[in-house]
Amino acid sequence: MTKKKKITFILNPISGTHSKEEIPELIEKTLDHDLFEPRIVFTEYAGHAAEIAREESKAGTDVVVAVGGDGTVNEVARSLVHTPTALAIIPCGSGNGLARHLCLPLDIKKAIEVINSCKIERFDYGVINELPFFCTCGMGFDAFISLKFAEAGKRGPITYVENVLKEGLKYKPETYEVEDESGATRYKAFLIACANASQYGNNAYIAPGATMKDGEMDVIIMEPFDVLDAPQIAADLFMKTLGNNSKIKTFRTKHLHIHRKKEGAIHYDGDPMMTGTDVDVHIEHEGIRIVTNPNAAEDEGQPNPVLNAFSDLFNNINNVREDIEKRGKRIQRVNKVLLRKLTKL
């Protein structure tokens, strides 16, 4: 008889937007009990998920499942790096960035069925100032918004977009000195993002071409833009076309050092913190084992609530922009006529 694999489900009862009450029953009904010997643990305070995952790994548990949002996934995952214990995910958050990148089902029962397949692969993860991240990290506007989002008290894509629209016009871009293997360059930037995976969450693709297996991160530098550029940048973010935007500079690297004039916020997988003027980011190649979806291609078309909710807004603002541009061209033509008449006087 084959020895059963030990699996521990770590549930954060307050993370994300889903109720967790039905999950233990779903685990009991759906999990392959011939393959797994399950244990379910609820977190009781901030940082508890990381502690539980660390102890489970030391005890030789085969798989530890993060049941919650991106914050819970990060907590569990950072305790499993460079260990034989694999991470699995039941996504119950507001963004679900890593789960979406890996094409994991957002339906809880289907996510448990993926775990039953127990297909495990090795993936890269990133480190920013000694803090592990698995999707993205960064500074500038996205870190500033992460702070606002954390202070908002309620979660979800609507809250996130409300903060972006409210704060975006007031945010002042900073000047950064960015150094990689090829040398140092100064940029005035709205934000700098380092992506191990393709998206922030909610199918907002900051780095559509990013892969978690190449040993490099995608660096995205968003240059300052005006209010008329914002709708196109937002649309590009959700349509996987951000790299085509003239305000975006991208490159790939294994290590990055960033210097800025003053201390400020950074984020790692959406969790914000304040840090100093110097920021180091690097990639750890194949440093974590993750249970993946054997039917990933079938589950790629996951819902995009933010784009659906705000597509009309993007279209309306773009129409306004086109109208302003047309009026601007008419004004320029009138000015040329007036200038010619004035030179004849």
Q: Is the pLDDT of residue 308 over 60?
A: no
Percent of the chain with pLDDT over 90: 63
Range with the lowest mean pLDDT among 7-16, 215-224, 226-235?
226-235
SS (H, E, C) the chain: CCCCEEEEEEECCCCCCCCCCCHHHHHHHHCCCCCEEEEEEECCCCCHHHHHHHHHHHCCCCEEEEEECHHHHHHHHHCCCCCCCEEEEEECCCCCHHHHHCCCCCCHHHHHHHHHHCEEEEEEEEEECCEEECCEEEEEHHHHHHHHHHHHCCCCHHHHHHHHHHHHCCCCCEEEEEEECCEEEEEEECEEEEECCCCCCCCCCCCCCCCCCCCCEEEEEECCCCCCCHHHHHHHHHHCCHHHCCCEEEEEECEEEEEECCCEEEEECCEEEEECCEEEEEEEEEEEEEEECCCHHHHCCCCCHHHHHHHHHHHHHHHHHHHHHHHHHHHHHHHHHHHHHHHHC
Residue that wins the pLDDT comparison between 308 and 267: 267
Name beta bridge partners: 36: 5
How confident is the model at residue 267, as a pLDDT?
94
State the pTM of this model: 0.83
How confident is the model at residue 194, as a pLDDT?
97
How confident is the model at residue 309, as a pLDDT?
46
What is the rounded CA–CA span in Å between residue 325 and residue 323?
A: 5
Considering Cα of 195, then 133, then 175, then 146, what sign does the dihedral take? Answer: positive
How confident is the model at residue 202, as a pLDDT?
85
pLDDT digits (tens, 9 = 90+) for 314-328: 555 555 555 655 665
Selection from 223, 222, 224, 217 nearest residue 280 by Cα: 217
Residue that wins the pLDDT comparison between 81 and 162: 81
What integer is the mean pLDDT of 124-141? 96
Mean predicted lDDT score pLDDT of the chain? 85
pLDDT range class, residue 281, cuts 50, 70, 90:
very high
Q: Is the pLDDT of residue 280 over 80?
A: yes
Selection from 215, 190, 201 nearest residue 138 by Cα: 190
Whether 190 contacts 223, CB under 8 Å:
yes
Pairing of strands 119-128, 278-292: antiparallel
Percent of the chain with pLDDT over 70: 77
Enumerate residues 6+ apart whose C-beta is below 8 A from 125: 77, 81, 132, 133, 134, 196, 212, 283, 284, 287, 288
Pairing of strands 264-268, 255-260: unpaired
What integer is the mean pLDDT of 41-67? 96
Range with the lowest mean pLDDT among 19-23, 32-36, 93-97, 216-220?
19-23
pLDDT range class, residue 42, cuts 50, 70, 90:
very high
What integer is the mean pLDDT of 326-332? 61
How confident is the model at residue 91, as a pLDDT?
94
pLDDT range class, residue 270, cuts 50, 70, 90:
confident
Tokens of residue 341, six digits: 């008449």
Neighbours of 146 (CB within 10 A): 23
Selection from 126, 166, 157 nearest residue 266 by Cα: 126
pLDDT range class, residue 258, cuts 50, 70, 90:
very high
Tokens of residue 55, six digits: 């102890």
How confident is the model at residue 38, as a pLDDT?
97
Range with the lowest mean pLDDT among 163-167, 209-213, 306-310?
306-310
pLDDT range class, residue 158, cuts 50, 70, 90:
low
Q: Is the pLDDT of residue 162 over 80?
A: no
Whether 170 contacts 69, CB under 8 Å:
no
Whether 302 contacts 174, CB under 8 Å:
no
How confident is the model at residue 301, as a pLDDT?
46
pLDDT digits (tens, 9 = 90+) for 95-111: 899 999 999 999 999 99
Q: Residue 15 carries which side chain, given as an amino acid letter?
A: S
What integer is the mean pLDDT of 115-130? 97
How confident is the model at residue 142, as a pLDDT?
82
Q: Find the farthest-apart pair of alpha carbons in the chain and give their distance in angstroms, rounded.
A: 103
Q: Is the pLDDT of residue 153 over 90?
A: no
How confident is the model at residue 185, as a pLDDT?
96
Residue that wins the pLDDT comparison between 168 and 175: 175
